């Protein structure tokens, strides 16, 4: 150490001895709790001690009268002893906004600064609610933490006993200045247990905790369960098949009965229709004949006692319509057909229109 360095150290020490002492120089507190700093001066005769937070004046303390000002967020406590003036600066219920630098200046001395860190406890939650599982099942729990500063320490406990940190995974990511994390923990269901997810940061008195309960049901022997399932499926299928068969049978029967009925109805309709048609044709025949619609000279054939009148326009009725009971005596009365006589027509009533 050369003379110059020694001189510099001595000079610094001399200046420092006359200046104020601030402690601690690095403080970390949890949000909503108080932050405290001590500033002390050995030499008397100072008149004012001023405190700043991030460069802004927060509180002034008078050597004679104590704290000046009325900002409720800040206060001071006198710890002075003989030969040392010492005041404690208290910041009440700090928020993240207060984090930064805290300075103490006595009279015209250099400002001395300390660092204030504010931690934030966020939320912790195991997703889903209480679980039930069958003995031997693998059950996975997901624990989600949100809005912590800094990143919390995640741990898991089963029935209150912490599990080895090799048994779970943690993935963290920042959201702005805050930290989020997800943690998976898988256990094999054996006994009814409580499962805790714990999140902790250094300033939190006790970890934040989320608890769910795992209820384990005794495993039913597998073959028995398989058989039950098989039986259930077989029974279900048999019932379904039986039902289908029944439905088909019912439908078939109904159809047959309806067909029978419709066939009968058709017959009845056909019969009544033919009667009506015949009557109509008979009437028409007469009408036409009466109104002289017969354009061609009808020829009446009398072979085998069947008279056939040809030359009628057929319109839209069927061939060979038989017109029973046509009173052909009128022909005889009203007209004479090319000298044919209509003797014996009363005996033969069948008339065929071609
Ligand atoms: C102050 O303390 C915090 C945590 O307590 C640490 O992370 C940081 O590095 C410290 N800062 C200094 C300047 O020592
Ligand atoms: C300030 O000093 C007093 C007395 O020495 C002590 O009780 C108190 O804990 C100190 N506060 C801080 C923040 O160090
Ligand atoms: C601070 O405490 C010391 C010692 O108890 C006392 O002498 C001094 O008057 C007090 N200062 C004020 C402003 O109350
Ligand atoms: C106290 O000071 C803080 C920060 O300097 C300020 O935000 C707050 O409004 C002040 N409160 C009062 C009552 O003046
Ligand atoms: C942080 O912890 C305090 C007490 O330790 C509690 O009152 C507060 O509700 C917690 N905040 C959050 C966001 O969990
Ligand atoms: C889980 O079970 C415990 C005790 O069995 C009960 O106190 C708690 O309310 C249950 N939680 C939920 C979310 O159902
Ligand atoms: C991230 O932070 C913002 C506000 O700070 C909030 O609205 C948002 O929900 C957060 N996202 C997550 C995933 O936590
Ligand atoms: C946790 O498990 C879920 C599925 O259960 C998966 O999607 C996710 O990636 C896992 N996360 C971690 C951190 O292992
Ligand atoms: C767990 O508790 C339930 C009743 O809550 C009980 O029926 C079951 O047998 C228990 N399981 C074990 C593995 O003890
Ligand atoms: C956990 O605790 C419950 C009751 O508190 C008890 O029935 C169970 O056997 C315990 N399980 C283990 C693995 O210790």
Using the predicted structure, report yes or no on whether residue 223 has a pLDDT greater than 70: no
Residue 16: per-residue pLDDT = 38
Q: What contacts 184, CB < 8 A, 6 or more positions away?
A: 140, 141, 142, 143, 168, 169
CA of 75 to the centre of ligand 2 (A): 14
* Three-state DSSP class for residue 148: strand
* Ligand 6-lining residues (CB < 6 angstroms): 129-130, 213
CA of 110 to the centre of ligand 1 (A): 23
CA of 33 to the centre of ligand 2 (A): 16
What is the rounded distance in angstroms from the CA atom of residue 246 to the CA atom of residue 241?
9
Atom index in ligand 4 nearest the CA of residue 98 equals 4
Atom index in ligand 5 nearest the CA of residue 122 equals 13
pLDDT digits (tens, 9 = 90+) for 30-50: 999 999 999 999 988 888 999
Using the predicted structure, report yes or no on whether residue 289 has a pLDDT greater than 70: no
Rg for the chain (alpha carbons), in Å? Answer: 58
CA of 61 to the centre of ligand 1 (A): 28
pLDDT digits (tens, 9 = 90+) for 133-186: 999 999 999 999 999 999 999 999 999 999 998 899 999 999 999 999 999 999
Ligand nearest to the CA of 73: 4
The token duo for 75 is: 């206060």
Fold of 123-217: Immunoglobulin-like (2.60.40)
CATH of domain 3-119: 2.60.40.10
């Amino acid at each position: 150490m050369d003379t110059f360095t020694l001189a510099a150290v001595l000079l610094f020490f001399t200046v420092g001895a006359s200046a104020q002492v601030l402690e601690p120089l690095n403080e970390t507190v949890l949000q909503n709790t108080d932050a405290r700093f001590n500033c002390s001066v050995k030499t008397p005769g100072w008149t004012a001690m001023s405190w700043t937070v991030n460069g802004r004046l927060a509180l002034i303390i008078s050597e004679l009268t104590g704290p000046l000002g009325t900002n409720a967020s800040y206060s001071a406590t006198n710890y002075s002893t003989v030969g040392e003036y010492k005041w404690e600066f208290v910041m009440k219920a700090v928020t993240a906004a207060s984090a930064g630098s805290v300075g103490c200046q006595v009279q015209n001395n250099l400002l001395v600064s300390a660092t204030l860190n504010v931690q934030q406890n966020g939320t912790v939650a195991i997703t889903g609610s209480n679980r039930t599982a069958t003995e031997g099942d693998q059950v996975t729990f997901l624990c989600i933490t949100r809005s912590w500063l800094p990143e919390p320490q995640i741990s898991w406990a089963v029935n209150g006993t912490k599990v080895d940190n090799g048994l779970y995974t943690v993935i963290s990511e920042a959201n702005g200045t805050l930290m989020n994390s997800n943690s998976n923990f898988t256990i094999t269901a054996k006994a009814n247990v409580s499962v805790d997810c714990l999140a902790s940061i250094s300033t939190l008195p006790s970890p934040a905790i989320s608890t769910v309960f795992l209820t384990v049901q005794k495993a039913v022997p597998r073959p028995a369960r398989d058989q039950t399932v098989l039986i259930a499926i077989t029974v279900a299928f048999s019932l379904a098949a039986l039902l289908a068969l029944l439905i088909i049978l019912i439908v078939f029967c109904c159809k047959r009965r309806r067909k029978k009925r419709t066939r009968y109805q058709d017959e009845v309709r056909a019969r009544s229709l033919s009667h009506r048609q015949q009557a109509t044709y008979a009437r028409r025949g007469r009408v036409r004949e009466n109104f002289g619609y017969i354009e061609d000279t009808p020829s009446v054939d009398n072979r085998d006692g069947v008279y056939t009148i040809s030359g009628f326009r057929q319109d839209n009725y069927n061939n060979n319509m038989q017109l029973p009971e046509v009173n052909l005596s009128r022909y005889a009365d009203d007209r004479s057909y090319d000298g044919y006589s209509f003797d014996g027509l009363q005996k033969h009533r069948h008339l065929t229109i071609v």
